[in-house]
Structure 1
């Protein structure tokens, strides 16, 4: 029996340098029952012409040219064209291992899963990094129920918030649009999807290449990056309603993210000259001090940072600077690394 069609949505914007690699990796999948939906999101380079050429060569390809509206808008337009039993999102500067879709479909069918994720590589121009802190590439796959899945999603270690690279049953996601005009759109979206999943399969073999550009979050930081905190707060309200047992874990993630972004705002103080955004973070932590302190009490490192920040944010920055200095002279423990291999 032939397995169902897989619809692959690829939003495309200013990726002329990478788009051939991405599309070719999809076209050469061992699983051929594909519907490849390429969304030209008003790209000002030659991407529009390139995807049209591909569409002429392969009738599995659908192309939509639209006015630029951002990643979420492009994905939402793509979902309107989906006819497959399964759906996958692929970012246009990333690429797939040849066996990826076949493997994911097989696991989805075998376990009647609602979604399947594979491991991925952080792909640089000259090397690959694989996160082996929790699993090795040769480990057996695991199956998660909804309760475990939601916990793993919130802590964002084994199950990432990324929408890309996962195979979803289309019926599960077709009525859950991505929030538009925000950064970190996946944070606003993933929990709504995972909430409806009964069976979720994790494959530890890396089958997706997540390309890392040279752009630095510190050098290119803007207050728009604070959308991630908005997304986490929105998710928290959802969790309080449907998964109240995860409230403390959610508060912990919000706290950690607030501290990180306060420091980034301070480094990029010219982009927050009046300190408006820093004041918002301090205001949130001050107003929620007791619940946040309760949430982080079992994480000694985070509790220390939270306590210092609550006295004065500069104390936390001094503490982090000291820890970094100690690591350099090998007194402190080094953070866990990733397995490195040549590309």
Structure 2
């Protein structure tokens, strides 16, 4: 008999998108599913919708709880898992009809602990596919632990996202998501991947990662800095268990720190007293020798570090000029992702 797959869907204020998500799960070609829908105190009609779905499909468990955030909803869902495998789906995203079938088939064939599919960035009128590293028809890539951890830290081919991956349940059922933070996956993923012996990447996009139109600049809040807290927490783990990846970790912290410093400059109201900007400056100053060593073979990032240390505004202006020059095609811009009509 095929192994049971538990699908956990945390749900909050997504009435507009929920049916699309749920239909993509219940209609999977792989039928041995346990579909755990966690209504996290949603103020709209999501609770009513999942109760209706529960009545029409005996694989569905509709759970209701007071609002506690995404991490709390996922943790609550994990308490009800009975499947050999677990997959997380955010409630505004959706799956290709064959996704779970392909993930399970590859896990069984390779004895993988985790299988990841490629995904589309899904907009209202188009899709984007990251074809910089792999084409859709490429054979699966198999990674062992050390290579996997490098990819996770670099966050290009292996993303920190919890979704889009099939996990053996016994790998993750005692690693809860950290509550009360944004970017909770950054606090979680390295602890899981540390246990993984075999990780498989499928290069066919089978997951649709919905991109809302909200601007990150216009909606930026101090909570967004949680990602830096997660990366610094992970850095301690990397130093302890994978010291060879220390420079990669420092580079990611530096890049993310500069991005968030610039976002706070663009949205001054979120840090009127400058406390959080000073915190970033202090971290970079304190760790400058290690950061300088980490970017030695990465000239663009080394330039940003030097400019930032002279004065953060210098790097901000430099980044703005680069954007202008790329816009008028004086210098080449970043490689664009493959675009498809939705």
Structure 1 distance, partners of 2:320, 2:85, is: 47
What residue in structure 2 maps to residue 261 of structure 1?
A: 260
SS at match of 2:15: coil
RMSD across aligned positions (CA)? 0.6
What residue in structure 2 maps to residue 288 of structure 1?
A: 287
Deviation at 1:292, TM superposition (A): 0.6
Alignment of 1:150-229 (within 5 A): 150-229=149-228
1:218-258 Cα distance to aligned partner (Å, 9 max, x none) = 00001110000000000000111111111010000000000
Structure 2 distance, partners of 1:258, 1:187, is: 15
1:101-121 Cα distance to aligned partner (Å, 9 max, x none) = 000000000000000000000
Alignment of 1:1-343 (within 5 A): 2-343=1-342
Structure 2 distance, partners of 1:144, 1:284, is: 33
SS at match of 1:36: strand
Structure 1 distance, partners of 2:215, 2:84, is: 38
1:268-325 Cα distance to aligned partner (Å, 9 max, x none) = 1111110000000000001111001101111111110010000100110111111112
Deviation at 1:332, TM superposition (A): 0.7
Deviation at 1:329, TM superposition (A): 2.1
Structure 1 distance, partners of 2:322, 2:112, is: 44
1:110-148 Cα distance to aligned partner (Å, 9 max, x none) = 000000000000001110000001001111111000010
SS at match of 2:16: coil
SS at match of 1:17: helix
Q: TM-score, normalised by structure 1?
A: 0.99
Structure 2 distance, partners of 1:124, 1:329, is: 25
Q: TM-score, normalised by structure 2?
A: 0.99
Q: Unmatched 5+ residue regions in structure 1?
A: none
Structure 2 distance, partners of 1:326, 1:271, is: 29
Structure 1 distance, partners of 2:207, 2:280, is: 35
Structure 2 distance, partners of 1:151, 1:39, is: 33
Deviation at 1:171, TM superposition (A): 0.3
Structure 2 distance, partners of 1:3, 1:190, is: 27
Structure 1 distance, partners of 2:187, 2:176, is: 10
Deviation at 1:334, TM superposition (A): 1.2
